Structure 1
Amino acid sequence: MRAALRPARRHRPTVRGEELQSLTGEPVEVETDDGVRLHVEVDPADRPDAPTVVFQHGYALTADSWHFQRLALRGRYRLVLPELRGHGRSARGPAGPVTIARLADDLGQVIDAVAPEGPVVLVGHSLGGMTVMELTVRRPDLLDRLEGVALVATSAGGMSAVDHGLPMLGHHLVRWAELALERAAGRTDVLERSRRVGGDLEQRLVRHWNFAGPVTPELLRLAARMMAGTPVDVIADLLPAFGTLDEREALANLAGRPVLVLAAERDLMTPAAHGREIAEAVPGAEHVLVRGAGHLVMLEHPSVVTARLERLLERVGTQRVPSADEVVVPVPGPRTRRRRR
């Protein structure tokens, strides 16, 4: 059975400006086996037996993409927020293509450094979700400690066929971008200057490809700032990884533990159908589809994502298994008053 509830009306999220001030925790620098220094932030828990929740952000983003979930969960759980190599405050690695396997190795080494023991819950968005899936293959020694997984707006494969909202053309975008960046090799300073000059256009593109409805200017600026802060050559080095992505065999490693698969109905980057495929491959996974949401669903509709993460964390260490049916979460609209006649 498939439950289907739709929001009554579109609405503009109400996010106060002060809520978007950067959150800070204990900074930790983790050096990987190939010498890259990764920036990690750790928020301690109020109780010593709390599980560690590791939030891995997505492509061209930073740990700030988890702002609202971090705000809601800090103190209740031990939170670990690493930034991918070349992103945010993490250093870049050697020049050249970066594989998801390499990112998974990085994530494993972060866990070794800051959470060497005790239960762990992994939360990944987009590229971060792909990294989490690959980690279960490359580090089977961590599976006994893995007590929950949340995969948000992500994919296990088939990304080369995604049209990014442009039928007949979109599936060529990644290859066109790769070729353009290859031709611009050695001239990244010119590309970076062009991005600054085209700031308004970049914000429009950020809105189009990451949000499905109206968002506050603060949210739009946050998303644009994260993406603009990711160097062009880092973006280029990661592009080929999406075309070869295939984490479907990794999904078997998620069986037997609480798993949340949360997809956004109007996601142009990792379509909702990819989330459904992941959920169908993991027995007992909770599948949540957020209506009227785009790729940055955790920023666009933070209360929905946070509530589902809380449900997942409540199940950690228990035998409770949710229905395998897809749950469609409505985004509430404002109440309207009836006119008096």
Structure 2
Amino acid sequence: MSPEALYFHQDMLRVPDGAELYYQSTGDGLPGMVLCDGLGCDGFAWKYLAPFLARRHRVLRWHYRGHGRSGIPDDRTRIGMLYTCDDLRRIMDAAGLERAVVFGHSMGVQVALEFHRRYASRVAGLVLVCGSYGNPLDTFHDSTVLKRLFPLIRRVVERYPEESARIIHAALRTELTVQLAITLEMNRERIARNDLAPYFDHLARMDPVVFVRTLDSLSEHNAWDHLPHVDVPTLVVAGERDRFTPGWISRKMADRIPGAELLLIPEGTHTAPLEAPGQVEVRVERFLRERLGVRTAASPPPAPLEAESPSEAPEAPGKAAASSPGS
């Protein structure tokens, strides 16, 4: 089926506290796939995976409060993790999805895990990409520097929101910022500037108060205690060189979730779905086919691959890279 022929619908959902949430559905077929973004994102990480999934499945994408096309409630304190699960449940209801495989990138991993904790019956499986189970400020760049600085950053942004917005927006719209991010945080040889630019475009338009309040809510959230109770097929995807969410966090998460599988992208960073889209697609297709009995692509499935070690037996360094499809 050509992309032009895919079913597409978009809408706004007004929730009881007045926030208007944007969502869109593409494609058709069950189980549905729900994609949950990272902090400050409006879908850029799903550029390749979303259309791949939509060939055979209903793909639901949505924007958190104050992100993308979604609005902010009248009470501006109602921002962050505390509200995401109820928002997602209402959006799934509006889109007619009773149950779905929930994908999360970065912050979306915390959203997906918390959603399973609260609405397990709505989750058919989990695909957790380049994210943590909680408290991301504790491990950012394997350092607590950001955690120590964040209270000051938040106070400044809350006290001087307009001035902060002008400074942040001006900085994010420079080519130097984009190039520094690509050089310092991403794999320059794998990431295309046009794939990363939408992130900076969105972040430059975002209210910095919403950003720091959402980040504060993430820093207080932890799903570590819930991981042993995850009772659906789970795939954890990590970048070997991810500095936002170091790979050891993904290993710990996969080890603690019963039966979880781990894909480590060699040389991958926090934007691994954009740096190695083919590798991610092949592994996701295999996961959906073998663990959930479904396929994503119209083409025949790839030849069987050597079985990966279960997460209960942690991999030796480099093992995931050697066994990863497409490497």
> Matched residues in 2 for 1:33 and 1:26: separation?
22
The answer to whether structure 1 residue 39 and structure 2 residue 19 are counterparts is: no
Q: Which residue of 2 aligns with 1:179?
A: 155
Whether the 8 Å contact between 2:165 and 2:207 is mirrored in structure 1 is: no
The Cα offsets for residues 54-91 of structure 1, whole Å up to 9 and x where unpaired, read as: 01111111123201001212131111011111111111
Deviation at 1:233, TM superposition (A): 2.0
Match of 1:258 among 211, 233, 237: 233
Could you tell me the percent identity over the aligned residues?
25
2:313 matched to 1:324? no
C-alpha distance in structure 2 between counterparts of 1:295 and 1:97, whole Å: 28
TM-score w.r.t. the length of structure 1 is 0.78
Q: How much does 1:98 deviate?
A: 2.5
Question: Which AA in structure 1 matches 2:96?
Answer: A
Counterparts in 2 of 1:136 and 1:333: CA distance versus 1, 3 Å? closer
Paired residue secondary structure (1:204): helix
1:34 aligned partner, one-letter code: D
Deviation at 1:163, TM superposition (A): 4.3
Deviations 1:83-133 (A, max 9, x none): 11111111123323633121122112111221343x411001111110111
CA contact (8 A) 2:42 2:199 kept: no
Q: Among 213, 216, 226, which residue is 2:188 paired with? A: 213
Among candidates 138, 141, 144, match of residue 118 of structure 2: 138
1:233 equivalenced with 2:225 (yes/no): no
Distance 1:242 1:174, change over 3 A: farther
Alignment-derived partner of residue 5 in structure 1: none
> What residue identity is the alignment partner of 1:154?
G
In the alignment, the residues of structure 1 paired with residue 77 and residue 176 of structure 2 have an alpha-carbon distance, to the nearest angstrom, of: 28
Within 5 Å, give how 1:129-208 maps onto structure 2.
129-139=109-119, 143-164=120-141, 169-191=145-167, 193-195=169-171, 199-208=174-183
Q: Give runs of aligned pairs for residues 270-281 of structure 1, distance below 5 A.
A: 270-281=245-256
C-alpha contact (below 8 Å) 1:55/1:82 kept by paired residues = yes
1:75 corresponding residue in structure 2: 55
AA aligned to 1:99 is G
Q: Distance in 2 between matches of 1:306 and 1:34?
A: 38
Task: Give the 3 Å change call, closer, same or farther, for CA 168–314 of structure 1 in structure 2.
Answer: closer
Q: Which runs of 5+ in 1 are unaligned?
A: 1-18, 335-341
Partner Cα distance (2:183, 2:96) in 1:
37
Q: Of 268, 273, 278, which residue of structure 2 is paired with 1:293?
A: 268
SS at match of 1:306: helix
Could you tell me whether the CA contact under 8 Å between 2:49 and 2:281 is conserved in 1? yes
Letter in 1 for 2:62: P
Matched residue count: 302
Structure-2 separation of matches of 1:294 and 1:24? 32
Deviations 1:4-53 (A, max 9, x none): xxxxxxxxxxxxxxx9xxx99311222223221111110122x5xx2100
Gaps of 5+ in 2: 295-306
Amino acid across the alignment from 1:179: R
